[in-house]
Structure 1
């Protein structure tokens, strides 16, 4: 087995574990948007790992669909709405959670099934991820304002690294990478692993800070 393939398998295993663990943690906090999106990343990475190790074409098809889902709608729309729980106190109902995922699945099917969208599709991914990056900048600012400087820095690093992956994905090749782009996909998996971990702990930090600020708010004067 090629050394770069070993690296890719390791990076995918890390992504499977980090997205699974923190997806379940989000579910325990009743944030179903982030929890299930992280588990979709787990499912995608698991299937890609099966393809890399055994050449299972069916697994590649599943991973390809899930990857398009997460890049086009799952992270930029679903995960963003989930993070708004701590930045804007947005608490969608279970019905709205279902609507978010159903709309994202429908959008992905349209994106992949219409031939006329094949050429603009890579640009769509970059635009959608750029929207998410703008939101992450706001998220980092909220953390900094709440006194969570380290997590603000962590979210900013997520912004930079994930945006770089999004821009390189369909447009550039890393020098020395082979035609299968094993080095790039290894870096992409590790970047998304970092995103899954950091966004969970940043979410928890901002949630605690907001609750602490609420508990320290002065009581209204009695008349």
Structure 2
């Protein structure tokens, strides 16, 4: 086998590991939307690896469906809603979480199977990921506002990496990459890095959010002391 194949498998294993580890961490933080999306990525990457090792087409189909879920709705809708817990203090109920996931699944089925989506599908995926990138710009702004320069730089790198992948995914094949393996090596690494970067950005904004009420309380107590 070519060395490219081993790099492909290693990149896939990296995505499986990072999405699983940080997906479980997010579930422990009770952010079920982000945790579920990360674990959907784990499931997709696992099936992709099994397909690479066995050639089973069913595993490739499962992976591609999960990929469609994440590109169309999991990242641009579910991930944004999950990140809004630390950017907008938005904490949906369990019922709302279920609605997000079921709605995303229904939307994926339509995009995946409807004849009228065959031609616009690539543009739909590019548009939805681009909207997610716009939201990441806001995340960077929030990180900078709380002094998290390193995490902000990390998110900028993740944004640039994943937006590049999204922009060439269905439009610009790499010359000589007939089996698309080189592209997927970069794509898998990009998504792996995104799963790590967003987790630490989430934690940084969560810490800043927890400090703010304490600061407000300190200012209030200080004001009371001055009036005594």
Report the 3-state secondary structure (helix = DSSP H, G, I; strand = E; otherwise coil) of the residue aligned with 1:12. helix
String of CA shifts for 1:52-95, please: whole Å, max 9, x gaps.
11101111111010000000000000011000000000000000
After TM superposition, the score normalised by the length of structure 1 is 0.97
| Between 211-220 and 144-153, the greater mean CA deviation after superposition | 211-220
Partner of 2:18: 18
SS in 1 for 2:220: coil
The 5-angstrom pairing of residues 146-161 of structure 1 reads 146-161=146-161
Q: Give, in whole Å, the separation in 2 of the partners of 1:95 and 1:158.
A: 31
Report the CA distance between 1:206 and its aligned residue: 1.0
RMSD: 1.1
Shift of 1:209: 1.3
- Residue equivalent to 1:212: 211
- For residue 173 of structure 1, report the CA deviation from its aligned partner: 1.3
Superimposed CA distance per residue, residues 172-197 of structure 1 (whole angstroms, 9 cap, x where no aligned partner): 112332x1110100100000000000
Instruction: Tell me the residue number matched to 2:182.
Output: 183
Q: Aligned partners of 2:187, 2:85: CA distance in 1, in Å?
A: 27
Q: CA deviation at 1:214?
A: 2.1
CA–CA separation in structure 2 for the residues paired with 1:88 and 1:143: 13
Secondary structure of 1:167's counterpart equals helix
Offset, 1:210: 1.8
Equivalent-residue separation in structure 2 for 1:106 and 1:2 (angstroms)? 39
Q: Deviations over 1:81-132 (max 9, x none)?
A: 0000000000000000000000000000000111121110000000000000
Q: Which has the larger radius of gyration?
A: 2
Q: Say how many residue pairs are matched.
A: 222
Aligned equivalents of 2:193, 2:175: Cα separation in 1:
23
Provide structure 1 residue ranges, at least 5 long, that are not aligned to the other structure. none
Deviations 1:133-188 (A, max 9, x none): 000000000000000001011111111111000001000112332x1110100100
**TM-score, normalised on structure 2?**
0.95
2:29 is matched with 29
CA positional deviation for 1:200: 0.2
1:141 — aligned with what?
141
For 1:79 and 1:195, the matched residues in 2 are separated by 11
